[in-house]
Structures are given as structure tokens and as C-alpha cells.
Amino acid sequence: MGTWSVEVFGNDTSCEIKEYFNEQYNRGSEVTQIVSELQEKFTYSLNNTDDRNNVLFA
């Protein structure tokens, strides 16, 4: 995990989530499906107290 600034998208985790969401959405995936995939893909970060908010805010 890298942090560049205090902005919402000022770290690697948030940027990766944003990029994945946009790619899947532009391919026509449903938002609920994308959210489920992100929860599964970022389980480690969601369980990590130092990284959890990066996932939730993104």
C-alpha cells in the first residue's frame, strides 16, 4: 500500500478500486455485482484497520 496524500484517491488501494469499478461499469456490469466483486477482491484490505477506510471511501 502506498500513500501519496490525504485525498480520497491519494493511495494505491483507492485508485485500484476506482479503476476496477470504472472498467466493469463501462463493460455493462451491474453496480451490485461490481460491489460484490470488490468486497471479495479486497477482503484483506477490508479486514485491515489501516486500509479499511481506503476501500470504504473509494
pLDDT tens for residues 16-49? 999 999 999 999 999 999 999 999 999 999 999 9
How many Å apart are CA 10 and CA 31, to the nearest integer? 23
Is residue 2 over pLDDT 70?
no
Domain regions of the chain by residue span: 12-57
CB 17 within 8 A of CB 38: yes
How many Å apart are CA 2 and CA 24, to the nearest integer? 24
Q: How confident is the model at residue 3 (pLDDT cuts 50, 70, 90)?
A: low
